[in-house]
Structure formats: C-alpha cells, structure tokens
A and B are shown apart, each in its own frame.
Chain A
Amino acid sequence: MRKIERKNLVDAIEKMIIDANMNLDLKMVIRLKLAMEKENSPVAKSILSEIIENQDIARDQSIPMCQDTGVAVFFVDIGNQIFLDFNLEDAINESVRNAYNNGYLRKSVVNHPLERKNTMDNTPAIIHIKQVISDNICVLMAAKGAGSENMSAMKMLTPSAGRQGIIDFVLKTVIDAGGRACPPIIIGLGIGGNFEKVTEIAKEAIFRDLDDQAINPIDRALEIDLLEQVNNLDIGPMGLKGNTTCIAVKVNSYPCHIASLPVAVNIQCHAARHKEIILRGELI
C-alpha cells in the first residue's frame, strides 16, 4: 500500500489548475501553427496568429490565456494500492478554492442555476472518480469554459439512425455552434452507453492526448471522417470562414441497450486547458 498525504495532493492539484490556465499544451500550439500555414483566408490566418501570440503572452507573463477560466472538471483514477485518510472530493475542492484565489483566476460558478449567486471560490468542481488497478492516483483536469460547453449537445438516436445519424448530429451541432464555441475546436464524441454515460465518455474524449487515436477501428474511422467533414463546413476560426474549424475529433464508445443509440458531442474551444498529474505518495 502507498499513502498520499492530503496536503501534498491539495498543493499538487492547485498547481496543476494554475498551470493549465496559463500554459497551453504544446501539441495544440504545433497544430495551430500548422493550421495557420495551411489557411487561405487572410482573416482566418490573422485570428490563428492572434491565438498563437496570446498563448505566448499567457505563458511568459503567467496570466490566464482566456478570461473564462471555467469550471474545474476532474477525472481521477485511484489505484487499488492507494490509501487515503481523507475525503478526496473535499480535498480537490480545496485545491480549486486555493488555485482560483491564489492564481488570479475568474470565479465563474454560481450556487444555483436560478438563484445565481457567485460562490466566490469557483467551487464546487465537477469530479469523476474511478477505481483502477495501480499504485498511484492519476488526476486529469480541465478548465472548461462556457462558450464551448453551451454549444455541446446530446441526443438519444434510435439504432436505425446508424453511422450516418451520428455524423449528421455532429455536423448539425458544429454548424449550430458556429463561431460561438471559439473554433478551431476539439470534438469529443460519445456513442453508446445510456443517457448519462454517453455525456461522460464524450467529456472524457476531450481529455485524450491530441496524438491519441481510437483503438476500435469503427471509432477510428469516425474520427477520420468527421475531422474531414467538419473542416469542409467553412466555419473557420471564430466562425469567420476558413478551413480550420476543428483540430481533432476523439470518439469514445460504450456498449448500449438493443433499442438505443445515445450520442453526445462535447465541444472544446481552442484554449484547450488540460493537465495530467500522477501522485504516488509513500510506501506504508
């Protein structure tokens, strides 16, 4: 067994939240630069150039790349050999509280969808915890802004809709989102499971490494076809036309009921603020 001290975990997660908001994934930076070179539209080119310059400024001066520092979303894999003598969700919320205050991040969470009083510390976070066979805790975190989240969608299709039904739904969601979702976007597509599972796997999909490809050949073929079709929509950076609408499509699938075909599209804006840390603690 290994034990992780509460303070070590709280501090490490606080640091990762601030880091995610200021330092864009370098793989994303490279893809944005490649996209800029391939763009024909001068407006699209200048927008991509601003996005690239912005992340340099954010990194150099340690300021958030986007003012919408989002809701903090976590996927935590906790190993069977890890012992914790504290409540993990409470500890993560303490990290969020510390990071949003100490890191000069915007507090964007309200207490109730209708009462709408700011909680003033960006808590509560959205936390998904899963037990796995390992001797560590793996924490994935995203600062998820509302611009792209508001443009995400799910639908319970019927099995007869099939592959084309999924493609049509993705394209419709991306067209409806237009410039509002801050393209170029990353698309997390969930297919299968049930009503709540499909949205969770769609969210997990946008956390995948940019170089990661779906293992299942059916899912991989969808990733390839959708990327091409979305980029042919001429939505472009910020919806002002161009051939860079989408940087990557990630498909996650799950078994489902004989009568169901759930589909969920989670959209991630170009300010894709994701981080991963692994904590091992001490042998006990």
Chain B
Amino acid sequence: MIRLNLPLTDEVRISLNAGDQLLLTGYLYTGRDAAHKLMVESIQAKQPLPMPIQGESIYYTGPTPAKPGFVIGSCGPTSSYRMDVYSIPLMEKGLKVMIGKGPRSDEFIQSLIKNQAVYLVTTGGIGALLSKRVKKMEIIAFPHLQSEAIYRLFVEDFPVIVAYDSKGNVLFSK
C-alpha cells in the first residue's frame, strides 16, 4: 500500500504502475452519468465547468442519502465504461485521475495515454466501508441531480488500485 496525497503531482502520477495499491488522502469530486453529460455540454457550449478540473480527480459514485449524524451514505464506485465518451473531452480539459470500477474502451485508453492521466479502481459493492473514509462532503453543482450531483469529498486513506497507468498498462484480465 502506497499512501498518497491528492491532487497527485505530475511526477507521482506518471510514476504509478498498473497493479499499485494506493491509499489516497485529499479532495475528490464525485460525478456519474448525468453530471458528466452536463459537464460535456458546458464544454461544447464553451461555458466554464462547475469546478476547476486541471490536475483534479473524479470519483464515479452516487451515494445513498446520509443517515443523521453520518457524513455520507454508502458510496461505492459505479461502472466506469458508461463515462468513457465523456471522459475524453474532460481529459482534454485537464482531468488527470478517474476512479470507478471495471474496464474501459480502447478510445478511452488512447486519450488517457495522450493526456498522461490514470484510471484507478476501487471495489464495487463496498460502499459502507468506503463511507468511513469520507470525512467531509459538500455540494458543488447540479443539486437537482440528487445523488448524481457533483459533490466535493475529503477522503482519508481511500483504497484504490491502479487499473490503467499513464503508459497504458492494463491490470484487468483479458
């Protein structure tokens, strides 16, 4: 396990290898299908994005509502492949770290290599465990999307595995 702070520096990010197990501390933005669609529509309309994205990290999750006294509800990763078409324009705008689950398209990998970004995975279906690693949660954009809105999370020791490194090495089974 390698402990790292977010946002990852260029040097650290480029040195990561597929298969590395990391514990991340710092800020992540959440976003999934609906928020990605709206962000890419903003890019196409030459409008600003709701948050600065250069060098940042997006975690694909739509949490359950937090119980009273809890920071966040269950918050595991959703399947990343649905975000493939949206991730490419976001990487062009400077997004460097994406966290989700499962494999992604060839087009995504090509863009990832070009932009020296990394794709990390965390275990699907462990939203209760991951909720304990989230220390702060604030809404950033699209509150009407409810659980699909963009939130900013402060995480401590958030467990991830490097699935695709910036050189395009892939951890998944063929």
Residue of B123, B147, B172 touching A106 (CB-CB under 8 A): B147
CB distance from B137 to the nearest CB of A (A): 13
Q: A residues within 8 A CB of B61?
A: 67
Q: How far is the CA of A46 from the CA of B19 in the complex (A)?
A: 12
User: Residue on B with the closest CB to A241?
Assistant: B173
Q: From DSSP, what is the main secondary structure of chain A's interface residues?
A: loop
Q: How far is the CA of A218 from the CA of B163 in the complex (A)?
A: 40
Residue of B21, B81, B103, B128 touching A57 (CB-CB under 8 A): B128
A67–B76 contact, CB under 8 A?
yes
Q: How many residue pairs, one in A and one in B, have C-beta atoms under 8 Å apart?
A: 141
A interface footprint on B81-97 (CB within 8 Å = 1, 0 otherwise): 10000000000000000
Q: B residues within 8 A CB of A69?
A: 64, 74
A104–B124 contact, CB under 8 A?
no
Q: How far is the CA of A172 from the CA of B125 in the complex (A)?
A: 23
The A156-205 residues at the B interface (CB cut-off 8 A) are 178-180, 182
A interface footprint on B54-90 (CB within 8 Å = 1, 0 otherwise): 0000000111111100100111101101000000000
A61 interface contact, C-beta 8 A? yes
A67–B64 contact, CB under 8 A?
yes
B132–A51 contact, CB under 8 A?
no
Chain B contact-residue range equals: 35 or more
B interface footprint on A51-76 (CB within 8 Å = 1, 0 otherwise): 10111011001111111110000000
User: Residue on A with the closest CB to B172?
Assistant: A239
Q: Given A50-B123, A54-B127, A106-B73: A64 and B64 within 8 A (CB)?
A: yes
Q: How far is the CA of A64 from the CA of B129 in the complex (A)?
A: 10
Q: B residues within 8 A CB of A265?
A: none
Q: B residues within 8 A CB of A239?
A: 102-103, 172-173
Q: How far is the CA of A46 from the CA of B21 in the complex (A)?
A: 10
Segment among A3-11, A229-237, A252-260 that sits at the interface with chain B: A229-237
A150 interface contact, C-beta 8 A? yes
CB distance from B48 to the nearest CB of A (A): 25
User: Residue on A with the closest CB to B68?
Assistant: A104
A65–B124 contact, CB under 8 A?
no
B171 interface contact, C-beta 8 A? yes
A66–B173 contact, CB under 8 A?
no
The B105-150 residues at the A interface (CB cut-off 8 A) are 121, 123-129, 131-132, 146-147
Q: Given A68-B78, A178-B103: A54 and B125 within 8 A (CB)?
A: yes
B161 interface contact, C-beta 8 A? yes
Q: B residues within 8 A CB of A250?
A: none
Q: Which residues of A contact B (CB under 8 A)?
A: 43, 46-47, 50-51, 53-55, 57-58, 61-69, 104-108, 118, 146-147, 150, 178-180, 182, 233-241, 269-271
Q: Which residues of B contact A (CB under 8 A)?
A: 19, 21, 61-67, 70, 73-76, 78-79, 81, 101-103, 121, 123-129, 131-132, 146-147, 159, 161, 163, 171-173
> Shortest 8 CB-CB distances between A and B: which pairs?
A54-B126, A180-B102, A58-B128, A271-B125, A182-B124, A54-B129, A67-B127, A64-B74
A-B contact pairs, 14 of them (CB 8 A): A67-B74, A67-B78, A67-B147, A68-B76, A104-B67, A106-B73, A147-B79, A179-B172, A180-B101, A180-B102, A182-B125, A239-B172, A240-B163, A271-B125
